[in-house]
Amino acid sequence: MSAKRLTGAAVDLATRENPAPSAVDAMVSNIRGLISDGGLQVGDSLPTEKELCERFDAGRNTVREAMRILKAYGIVSVRPKVGATIIDDRMERALDLFSFNTLDISRRTFNDIQGFRKLIEVGTVDTLFDNVNGQSIVDLREINERLRRAQTISDASEQDFSFHLRLVSILNNRAVRDVYRIMKPVIIRIMERAKQLRDFNEDTVEQHAAIVDALEMRDRIHYQYALVSHLELGLWAFEEETKAEQGAL
């Protein structure tokens, strides 16, 4: 093969592996750059469609499609006669996206979610012990009491989730709280599975109480044991449901 043909083949390969961005993708990047480089904040207005076309030498359809994508991302709001305004609804978009993935939970998804929860709720024990205070304990016990009084699986699962969200809130880490909010639909689904297969109040309430007691006493061994046992109850429920489904085939 000649050097010229070899060079051409290399260029083709590089192009396939690193394709040039489409006009719309480029426009999205341009607008995001405009926001960051220009120091624009939530509530500020973007240039008009005509101004964007002229500034970036793009067609109206390209600008409109880029705006549609940014709107879907929760970065801009576009209203007639007002134009594009910068917003920050990215968390809500993430919540919406995640909720589509909860109709069926695979074994891998289950293990990933529970494994992540162990890393956060068990692995951060030192920070939890450093940050916990009397109000945290009161809040956790009140949520657990609401769980005890829950009359439906749905309500019990909501209170169960609230307990764990309040627990991780002790870390004072907004990113962790946001991630738990995103994962809420699938965590709720896991909780509902466990509660459908056994007493949906008694076991969870007792396990939560043990967790709070250990947290209040800052007893590392009992805290980690109680929490791991509690999270593994979901694994038991998952396996029991799987066995029941297979037996019905």
In angstroms, rounded to a whole number, what is the distance separating the alpha carbons of residues 16 and 179? 35
Tell me if 163 sits within 8 A of 209, measured CB to CB: no
What is the pLDDT confidence band of residue 135, given thresholds at 50, 70 and 90?
very high
CA 192, CA 190: separation in Å to the nearest integer?
A: 5
Amino acid at 195: K
Beta carbons of 45 and 6 less than 8 angstroms apart: no
Q: Strands of the chain (E only): list them.
A: 76-79, 83-86
Within 13 Å of residue 151, how many CA atoms lie on the same side as its CB?
A: 0
| Better-scored residue on pLDDT, 73 or 176 | 176
Alpha-carbon torsion (127, 130, 131, 136), positive or negative = positive
What CATH number was assigned to the domain covering residues 94-248? 1.20.120.530
Which range, 34-43, 49-58, 228-237, is most confident?
Answer: 49-58
pLDDT(158) > 60: yes
How many other β-carbons are positioned within 10 Å of the β-carbon of residue 19? 9
CATH topology of domain 3-88: Arc Repressor Mutant, subunit A (1.10.10)
pLDDT at 171: 96
For the segment 96-100, the average pLDDT, to the nearest whole number, is 53
**Per-residue b or e along 126-156, where b marks 16 or more CB atoms closer than 10 Å to that residue's CB:** eebbeebeeebeebbbebbeebbebeebeeb
Domain ranges of the chain: 3-88, 94-248
Q: Which of 27-41, 193-207, 219-233 has the lowest mean pLDDT?
A: 193-207
Amino acid 231: pLDDT: 86
Q: What is the CA radius of gyration of the chain?
A: 25
- Please, are residues 232 and 204 in contact by the beta-carbon 8 Å criterion? no
pLDDT in tens, 211-230: 999 999 999 999 999 999 88
Q: Please give the average per-residue pLDDT across 140-156, as a whole number.
A: 94
In the predicted model, is pLDDT for residue 236 greater than 70?
no
pLDDT the model gives residue 78: 82
Does position 82 have pLDDT exceeding 80, yes or no? no
Reported as a single tens digit per residue, the pLDDT across 179-193 is: 898 888 888 888 887
Say if residue 225 is exposed, middle or buried (CB neighbours under 10 Å; 0-12, 13-18, 19+): middle
More confident residue, 158 or 109: 158
> Which pTM does this prediction carry?
0.61
On the question of pLDDT at 10 being above 50, the answer is no
What share of the chain in percent tops pLDDT 90? 35
Is the pLDDT at 170 greater than 80? The verdict is yes
